[in-house]
Amino acid sequence: MATTDDRLEEKPPYGVDVDTEKNTAAVTTNDGPVAGWTRIRDLAHKAIVFGRVELRGVAPIPVEERTVDRTINIFTLWWSMNANILPIAFGMIGPASGLSLRDSSLVILFFVLLTTLLPAYLATLGPKTGMRQMIQARYSFGRYIVSIPVFLNLATMTGFCIIIAVIGGQCLSAVADGNLSVTVGIVIISLVTLVISFCGYKWLHIYERYAWIPAFIAIIVAAGCGGRDLANQVPAEPAKASAVLSYGMIMASYMVPWACLASDFTTYLKPDTSSVKIFCYSYFGLATPTILLMTLGAAVGGAIPNNPTWQDKYNETLVGGILDAMLAPAGGFGKFLVVVLAFTLLGNLAATSYSITLNFQMLVPVLFKVPRYMFSIVLVAIMIPVSIAAADDFFLNMENFLALIGYWSSAFLGVVLVEHFVYRKGDCGRYDPEAWNDAGLLPWGVAALGSVALSFAVVVPSMAQVWWTGPIARTTGDIGFELAFVVSGLLYVPLRWVERRHLGR
């Protein structure tokens, strides 16, 4: 008897018809049956059904199919997505920006606890609406204009995948003492990611349920082996407000984008699942490992200049090199743990890749007809060459990428939350499930797009980046993401009122 976790959509992939009475697949094409192609398609279909690959795309999940009651999956999903070495890399940016370990840790603690509120809350809407996050956004951005935030979300998530692939490739290269190039390491990490993201919701949650265990064991051993050297921190000047806020922006750029895909992972839960339980599982599953590992990263970053061996390994393969140096006292077992740490990144990569495949279907209407799992292949085809190019100057490329994503996602979320709380009174029943793909029933999206665009009139002067520092930011530091969230939400109230008055929807 199937469990609630297994009751997922089993309709055939696009272009395949299944005769369920005979339990056979009959494949047709517009040009008539072709024997060889039919056999290939038939085998592919059987493999997909046997493997329980999720075939449903971005259409809202009907109430009768929202049957999963294992709520703890939400906690293990968020925990595994962040219980890896990616937060360590982000933590290392603090000391590199001139902050001490204490100041870096306080910034990490405050900004992570604050910004985790957004993804934790939006995750609670998935079971009630059955909608993926960017489908819900159509109820403010409209059927077609929503393609703009979808594109930006795709760029954001793909950028994170590239960062992760580079770090994983660096780890594999470091453990091989240069006998394996970073390029080959990137290819290996990307291809393994393809397998997990291809399968979909069920297998994603099964994988994430256990993926964090070897990750935490390896990280604890690494911290233990290098603990004595972590105390030898580089002296730092007292923190300035501008440095604190700029590093806070980096924290926001890591945390806020999770909100743009939060409900993607909860749509199969039963509609009556406790929102408080989902919120708490999401909040603590996301915030706890992130705070701990970013703080460890800050300690590592502040200790590197005082340890010549660590500095040399860092110069060779960056994050992978420093982890290899920290685990060197463990000998061959340490090398093995570096490999484990490389593959712990799959917890993040797999979940992010899953949401990317859904966002591809929402980008333009014609892509809705392409099966979700096919975009896993497209993603890997993009990831590999871009990751190889980005690896050459990794931390500079990462900071330039992070400099942009926090602003748009904050502005986007300001609009979505005002729509939900002000115009839909916080009631998920006000989202008509029949309207999700009907431009005539959805808003135009002009108010939403206008609010986001106009908010950048104050965001740009408040940005502090290597390539641009606005007049406001010269005094305050980077407060762009905070203003983007607040100003876009405030502008949306009157603009949406005008839109509703003219459209009636």
74 contact partners, CB below 8 Å, separation of at least 6: 123, 265, 266, 269, 278, 281, 282, 285
Reported confidence tier of residue 505, pLDDT bands at 50, 70, 90: confident
Residue 22's pLDDT is 38
Mean pLDDT of the chain: 85
Confidence of residue 349 (pLDDT cuts 50, 70, 90): confident
Task: Find the angle CA(278)-CA(282)-CA(288) to the nearest 5 degrees.
Answer: 145
Q: Assess whether pLDDT exceeds 90 at residue 351.
A: no
Smallest CA-to-CA distance from 138 within 379, 365, 375 is with 365
Q: Is the pLDDT of residue 40 over 70?
A: no
User: What average pLDDT does this structure show over 441-447?
Assistant: 94
Compute the average pLDDT of residues 100-114: 96
- Going by the DSSP 8-state scheme, the letter that residue 19 receives in this structure is E
Query: Is the per-residue pLDDT at 117 higher than 90?
Result: yes
Does 403 score more than 70 pLDDT? no
23's CB contacts (< 8 A; 6+ apart) are none
Mean pLDDT value across residues 496-505: 88
CA dist 152 and 220 (Å) reads 36
Residue with the larger pLDDT of the pair 28 and 39:
39
Please report, rounded to a whole number, the percentage of residues in the chain having pLDDT higher than 70.
Answer: 86
pLDDT score recorded for residue 101 = 95
273-296 mean pLDDT: 96
- Cα(228)–Cα(218) distance, integer angstroms: 17
| Better pLDDT: 13 or 131 | 131
pLDDT the model gives residue 226:
87
Which tokens go with 39?
């056999």
Q: Which of 428, 72, 128 is nearest to 271 (CA)?
A: 128
**SS3 category, 143:** coil
**Residue 193 and residue 375: Cα distance in Å, rounded?**
12
Whether 364 has a pLDDT exceeding 60, the answer reads yes
Q: What's the pLDDT tens digit per position in 462-477? A: 998 777 889 999 888 8
Classify 438 as helix, strand or coil: coil
Which residues make Cβ contacts (< 8 Å) with residue 425, sequence separation at least 6? none
Please tell me whether residue 339 adopts helix, strand or coil conformation. Answer: helix
Closest by CA to 360, choosing from 345, 341, 380, 342, is 380
- Hey, which bits of 112-151 come out as E strands? none
